């Protein structure tokens, strides 16, 4: 049910409006209230909070524009007024609309259909504006809460990064001491146990894994702690790949790998050199770690433009993976998918993704088990 307030000092006009509005079909029921003066209108408005006010401009104790401003003070966000006047002054219509009226009618120039349409449209417009106001208020509140949450998350992440960095830094020396003690013990100690050699091997392997994990953790956190981004430079992809392959030479030889490159589509990239080196190094290292045991490793590296976006693509014929099962976990820290094939720590892809996303890029992956994997690194967002 909708409440309509009729404000007019002419009783015959009020009766006419009531008869017109009673024939409308939009709402099942209307509750009509009548006021013959401005003072009476203010009292009824405060008591009934009508959905729409039909307001005559010419009243005995005030004029419609003055009363409109008074009502606006009572309900600044919900007031719905249709101004009615006995004269067709265009200037008055503009003033009424500028003062907050939703529409304007001239006595003697509207029928029942036009009055009902005007009132219904004004109510619908008012309700829409109120919904939008509530929506924007809720959105503003949600954004404020989100900003607070983001600040809390940022502080938590910073604290966590600082803790991990301090822990990894502080653990390096004890681990180095363990390495020295272990090497000295293995060199000088005599153990009369047929399994001694295997135990030395397992201890050495575990110590290497601990050292690598601590070092990788420090590298990950160091990226997050850098106060300023490295300046971008024009990087020759052929030269950078050659440097990375020199670093990985022992792994390339061990895997009997064939590395193919194609940089004709995009010979140079504008990027932070150390970040690009880390990205390429980790992607190539993964192709060698997770090579298929039944065939020589074949790796293809290429760069090209996809539209206006630079893409670095690394493709291999290795073990591959089931992305339906593991796709959402691919870039998680310490997540490994072929632990039997490699002694990796699960940090490399996490670091690659973090570097790429920090610059507004993203990574797409295609993979099939037993066939291989393709990483496409979109270097700019």
Question: Cα separation of 379 and 356, whole Å?
Answer: 6
Q: Is residue 32 within 8 Å of 79, Cβ to Cβ?
A: no
Q: Residues, the chain, total?
A: 381
Question: Cα separation of 322 and 313, whole Å?
Answer: 19
HSE of 2, CA atoms in CB hemisphere, 13 A: 23
Cα–Cα nearest to 248, from 285, 301, 302: 285
**β-pairing verdict for 372-378 and 362-368:** antiparallel
Q: Torsions phi, psi of 36, nearest 5?
A: -100, -5
Q: Is residue 321 within 8 Å of 373, Cβ to Cβ?
A: yes
Residue 7 is inside which H or E element, if any?
Answer: strand 2-7
pLDDT per residue, tens digit, the chain (381 aa), is 899 999 999 999 999 999 999 887 777 678 999 999 999 999 999 999 999 999 999 999 999 999 999 999 999 989 999 999 887 677 888 889 999 999 999 998 899 999 999 999 999 999 999 999 999 999 999 999 999 999 888 777 766 666 665 666 567 677 778 888 888 888 888 878 888 888 888 888 788 777 777 776 666 666 655 545 668 899 999 999 999 999 899 889 988 999 999 999 999 999 988 889 989 998 999 899 889 988 999 999 999 999 989 999 999 999 888 888 777 777 776 666 555 555 555 677 888 888 898 889 999 999 998 899 999 999 974
Cα–Cα nearest to 314, from 237, 232, 377, 266: 377
């Amino acid at each position: 049910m909708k409440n309509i307030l009729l404000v007019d000092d002419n009783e015959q006009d009020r009766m006419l409006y009531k008869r017109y509005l009673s024939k409308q079909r939009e709402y099942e029921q209307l509750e009509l209230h009548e006021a013959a003066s401005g003072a009476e209108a203010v009292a009824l408005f405060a008591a009934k909070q009508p959905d729409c006010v039909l307001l005559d401009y010419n009243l005995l104790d005030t004029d419609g524009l003055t009363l409109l401003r008074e009502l606006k003070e009572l309900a600044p966000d919900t007031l719905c007024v249709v101004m009615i006047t006995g004269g067709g002054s265009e200037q008055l219509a503009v003033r009424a609309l500028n003062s907050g009226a939703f529409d304007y009618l001239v006595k003697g120039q509207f029928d029942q259909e036009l009055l009902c349409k005007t009132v219904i449209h004004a109510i619908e417009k008012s309700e829409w504006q109120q919904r939008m106001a509530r929506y924007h208020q809720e959105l503003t509140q949600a954004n404020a809460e989100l900003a607070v949450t983001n600040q809390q998350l940022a502080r938590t992440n910073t604290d966590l990064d600082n803790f991990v960095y301090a822990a990894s830094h502080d653990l390096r020396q004890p681990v180095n001491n363990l390495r020295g003690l272990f090497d000295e013990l293995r060199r000088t100690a005599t153990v009369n146990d047929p399994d001694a050699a295997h135990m030395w091997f397992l201890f050495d392997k575990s110590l290497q894994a601990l050292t690598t994990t601590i070092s990788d953790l420090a590298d990950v956190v160091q990226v997050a702690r850098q106060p300023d981004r490295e300046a971008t430079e024009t990087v020759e992809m052929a030269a950078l790949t050659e440097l990375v392959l020199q670093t990985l030479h022992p792994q390339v030889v061990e895997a009997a790998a064939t590395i193919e490159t194609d940089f004709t589509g995009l010979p140079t990239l504008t990027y932070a050199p150390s970040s690009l080196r880390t990205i390429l190094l980790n992607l190539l290292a993964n192709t060698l770690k997770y090579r298929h045991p039944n065939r020589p490793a074949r790796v293809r590296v290429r760069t090209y433009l996809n539209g206006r976006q630079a893409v670095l693509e690394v493709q291999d014929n290795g073990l591959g993976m089931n992305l339906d099962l593991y796709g959402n976990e691919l870039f998680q820290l310490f997540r490994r998918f072929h632990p039997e094939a490699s002694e990796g720590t699960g940090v490399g892809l996490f670091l690659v993704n973090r570097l790429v996303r920090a610059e507004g890029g993203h990574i797409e992956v295609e993979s099939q088990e037993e066939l291989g994997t393709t990483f496409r690194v979109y270097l700019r967002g």
